[in-house]
Amino acid sequence: MVVDCHCHLDERMLKTDELIERMERAGVDRNAIIATVVDPLPETPPVLINMLHFLLRRSYLRDMGKMFCANLTDDGGINILGKTYTIYSDPDNKSVFDAVKSYPDKFYGWVFVNPRGKNDPIQEIQKWIDTPGCVGIKAHPFWHRYPPAELLPVAEMAVRLKKPLLIHVGFKEHGDFMILSDRFPELKLLLAHAGFPCYGDTWKIIKERKNICVDLSATAYVGEKIARDVVAYLGADRCFYGTDGPYGPCTPDEKYDYGYLKRRIEKLFPDEKTKSMILGENFMRFAGI
- Collect all residues with Cβ–Cβ distance below 8 Å to 277 and sequence separation of at least 6: 236, 237
Contact 56, 16 (CB under 8 A): no
**From the centroid of its chain, how far is CA 52?**
18
121 cis-preceded (ω within 30 degrees of 0)? no
What distance in Å separates the CA atoms of residue 58 and residue 48, rounded to the nearest whole number? 16
- The pLDDT tens digits of the residues spanning 5-58 come to 999 999 999 999 999 999 999 999 999 999 999 999 888 889 999 999 999 999
What distance in Å separates the CA atoms of residue 88 and residue 86, rounded to the nearest whole number? 6
The confidence score (pLDDT) of residue 75 equals 86
Count up the domains in the chain and report the number: 1
CATH number at residue 142: 3.20.20.140
pLDDT at 81 over 90: no
**Domain of 195?**
3-287
Contact 226, 199 (CB under 8 A): yes
Residue 254 — left, alpha, or beta (φ > 0 → left; ψ -120 to 50 → alpha)?
left
What is the Cβ-side half-sphere exposure of residue 275, based on CA atoms within 13 angstroms? 12
Output the pTM of the full model: 0.97
- The pLDDT tens digits of the residues spanning 4-19 come to 999 999 999 999 999 9
pLDDT at 263 over 90: yes
